[in-house]
Chains A and B, each alone.
Chain A
Amino acid sequence: MKKGDVVLGGCVLLVAAALLLFPYFLPQGRVVIYVDGTIYGTYRMDRTQTLRVESAFGYNLIEITPEGARVTESSCENKLEIKEGRISHTGQSLVCLPNHLVVAIEGRQDLDGFSY
């Protein structure tokens, strides 16, 4: 082990921490569901709803609550996005690669707040 090893490892850990913590400093946004790269729908997080998203690649059941969004059912094999649990902050996302599905929480893009 050399000093450089520790420095390098530390730097990578810092980048990792920055990527993980960044979403917690952003205001709560909206849930955006993408299928195969295009927007399937945008949903507010102030009421509870369950969505069934079906595409050529498979289907997913997505539950959106004020606490966040999670995938409850999937036709894919590994079900990684279900195990990932709930996401609640802007910048976080759930990805189901086999179904080409992304559930992301994105910041508000509208300018309503500024156009008094």
Chain B
Amino acid sequence: MASVTENRIFSCAMLVAVGVLIGYVEHLFSFVIPVPGVKIGLSNLVVLLALMRYTKSEALLIGILKAVLNGLLFSGGMSILYSLLGIVLSVLAMAVCLRLWYPKVLSAVGVSIAGSALFQVGQVAAACLVLTSLAPVYYLGVLLAVSVFSGGAIGGLCQLLLRRVPDHGKPMQGTSGPYNRENGENE
């Protein structure tokens, strides 16, 4: 019998795996985007989903694991540092938005835009620290402009997912799906 906590651990691990996979696919198609250095960051979808369904710390953990794995697997070692600072700021921004304004003022789209924008700020800040120069700030303009659209798209996708994907992290009641092991029906 799997407990609720175990289900939650499975769900988080699955989200990390999905995030790494999305990162890989995006890495394969990175030549499609004409602006150098710009990524859509579609894998941040899993972080947003975790933040909305689970807790802040779980989302942060998923984000950090995803950033480290993606960095080690697909891009150079130093890029981990940039995306780590980005993901931490991004999760913080989204957590604040969710707490203060969701769902009254902002929908998932707005929360995602805030996260995306702060991700770029974190990335550029890390680059500034590495180079001990403010020069990367110039790039922030392009990155922020793109983040509004990519962040918005990710937010829209997240809304769809919230509606369609069942929440395996919680015990499901009244159904006997393959993941509902609470009653021991499928064991």
Binding site for B on A (CB under 8 A): 1-5, 8-9, 12-13, 15-20, 23, 34, 36-37, 77-78, 80, 83-84, 91-93, 95, 97-98, 100, 102, 104
Contact (Cβ within 8 A) B135 A93: yes
A4–B98 Cα gap in the complex (Å)? 13
Shortest CB-to-CB span from A47 to chain B, Å, is 23
Contact (Cβ within 8 A) A12 B110: no
A73–B85 Cα gap in the complex (Å)? 30
Within 8 A of A (CB), among B117-162: 117, 127, 130-133, 135-145, 147-148, 152, 155
B184 located at the interface, meaning its Cβ lies under 8 Å from any Cβ of chain A in the complex? no
Q: Is the interface of B mostly helix, strand, loop or mixed?
A: helix
With A4-B110, A84-B36 known to touch, is A17 a contact of B145 (CB < 8 Å)?
Answer: yes
B113 located at the interface, meaning its Cβ lies under 8 Å from any Cβ of chain A in the complex? yes
The total of chain B residues at the interface (CB under 8 A) is 35
List 15 additional contacts besides A80-B37, A97-B127; criterion CB under 8 Å.
A2-B107, A2-B109, A5-B155, A8-B106, A8-B113, A9-B148, A12-B117, A13-B144, A16-B140, A16-B141, A16-B144, A17-B145, A34-B131, A37-B132, A95-B136
Binding site for A on B (CB under 8 A): 36-37, 76, 78, 101, 103-107, 109-110, 113-114, 117, 127, 130-133, 135-145, 147-148, 152, 155
With A37-B133, A80-B37 known to touch, is A5 a contact of B152 (CB < 8 Å)?
Answer: yes
Contact (Cβ within 8 A) A2 B117: no
User: 5 closest Cβ contacts across the A-B interface?
Assistant: A19-B141, A37-B132, A5-B110, A20-B141, A93-B135
**A77 CB contacts on chain B under 8 angstroms:** 76
Shortest CB-to-CB span from B162 to chain A, Å, is 14
Contact (Cβ within 8 A) A80 B138: no
Contact (Cβ within 8 A) A17 B141: yes
A15–B116 Cα gap in the complex (Å)? 14
Residue in A9, A95, A98 whose CB lies within 8 Å of B76:
A98
Residue in B103, B135, B145, B152 whose CB lies within 8 Å of A16:
B145
Contact (Cβ within 8 A) B137 A95: no
